[in-house]
Structure 1
């Protein structure tokens, strides 16, 4: 985990290291834990293919990497992982993005192979995190990994106050976990990451899927979750989902405008979406609140 504060700030905030050799902290009743592992080996990839009923997976799947946030008192657990994200990809099953004919050969294993793109090779996912409630081991009602109910998200009018979150506030800790990545045979990038930022006032999570198919499409799917630290049995968690995308053809005039402002017009230059994200047309946006009954 990348610490952006000193031990004094953490101590003042009441943060305690997690036990059991886990990487993370307990702060204001929240256990915040990140796990980073290497990419899945061939045997694990085969197991995933069988479970997902597919023969296609991203080039790099960090299957054991994850971010977990657990509210100890209520048992609410938010989990961000590659397997659930790929389940969403498989279920959504978008049609494959058509690439320029001149670039199709790059998707071939052998020059003589016939090009068949009959699946979404971009691994676009609607995944916006996994939520559950764990039984408390102290309660004697069962093992900690066994779920007792399934929280659900309801649309709401409340909004995450991004202006307030943009105000200068010390960052107690920050980390980023890559869940999967594919360079689309040098035709772009497909990348799913999750970032967590913890401040004295609360935590903020950004789950981001970024797709760039060179010369064809840019797609950004962001999920933000925010929770303020309050003394409450059940915390208030807001989730904002925002999808943006545009074809390269539609972006061409925009990129020309950006050129005048010093932005590159070559789509391959946009390895990070931050420079263009707000300029992509919005396809969907909604805010939800986590409800536990």
Structure 2
């Protein structure tokens, strides 16, 4: 999605666009950059299959697309990419969703071979983002125990996010997508917006297996700007899920056309998991 920020609003907020044609913003010690690239080439796809030890991957993987948010002073880096998300899919190893018409599905990738759906072909991932500490000595992806998410009682102030602040930067990055052989959709995206007072992002995995199941896994992350202290970063993770049959029993429509927009139907899906976390940020470096 193309986004044109208002230059006056950016200057008034003490922010600046990233140089060298990069897409993003510097503001209050943060450097926020998004990148939308094309799908993986067949050669790169083969490399991913070897690294992930699988021959099953989504139809469209935007392997070089990413969103990176780095707090320069502390070295705190939060980033989102397809590879780490698929690592999560591989580790979770959910059983395949039972589909009555599975036997009639089109062959997924090899037209002359019967493909047995004995893996999680929905590519559902528990991925909620990646984090690292970047210092002058290099990248510490584990953070040596000083960069980790801890359970929190704090809530993300949704009302504040809805205030009429100017949006200094906005982008949506698709990480991967699969149309489930024309029987639904599996989609992982991350959206970010930056305002004068904070940045906010939504990582969303959306699954619809037509006539069978819907699954929504949302990760919301927010950071309010504060010049003189370590950044406070909150993360709200909610997983929702329901079968078409269960929704129909509550009087909701059972046709697939009613469920094209996850924003519209998210409140209809019951919560199966919810947690709020705060990122423990290391001392200033």
How do 1:1-293 and structure 2 match up within 5 A? 2-3=2-3, 5-101=5-101, 103-109=102-108, 113-136=113-136, 142-143=137-138, 145=139, 147=141, 149-150=143-144, 151-254=147-250, 256-257=251-252, 265-293=254-282
Partners of 1:65 and 1:224 in 2: how far apart?
19
Deviation at 1:17, TM superposition (A): 2.1
Partners of 1:238 and 1:183 in 2: how far apart?
32
TM-align CA RMSD: 1.9
Give SS of 1:274's match. helix
Partners of 2:122 and 2:106 in 1: how far apart?
12
> 1:130-154 CA deviation, whole Å, 9 max, x = no partner?
0111013xxxxx24x4558251101
Identify if the C-alpha distance between structure 1 residues 217 and 148 changes in structure 2 by more than 3 Å, giving closer, same or farther: closer
Partners of 2:128 and 2:96 in 1: how far apart?
21
Partners of 2:28 and 2:179 in 1: how far apart?
40
Partners of 1:93 and 1:210 in 2: how far apart?
17
Aligned length: 279
Give SS of 1:276's match. helix
Deviation at 1:173, TM superposition (A): 1.5
Identify if the C-alpha distance between structure 1 residues 188 and 275 changes in structure 2 by more than 3 Å, giving closer, same or farther: same
Q: Which runs of 5+ in 1 are unaligned?
A: 137-141, 260-264
Partners of 2:229 and 2:141 in 1: how far apart?
18
8 Å Cα contact 1:134-1:148 kept in structure 2 = no
Partners of 1:146 and 1:220 in 2: how far apart?
31
After TM superposition, the score normalised by the length of structure 1 is 0.90
Deviation at 1:111, TM superposition (A): 7.9
Deviation at 1:20, TM superposition (A): 4.0
Deviation at 1:168, TM superposition (A): 2.2
Partners of 2:44 and 2:8 in 1: how far apart?
42
> 1:179-211 CA deviation, whole Å, 9 max, x = no partner?
000000000000000000111110101000000
Partners of 1:50 and 1:232 in 2: how far apart?
46
Partners of 1:199 and 1:288 in 2: how far apart?
22
Partners of 2:150 and 2:81 in 1: how far apart?
22
Deviation at 1:3, TM superposition (A): 3.1
After TM superposition, the score normalised by the length of structure 2 is 0.92
Partners of 2:227 and 2:217 in 1: how far apart?
32
8 Å Cα contact 1:105-1:115 kept in structure 2 = no
Give SS of 2:200's match. strand
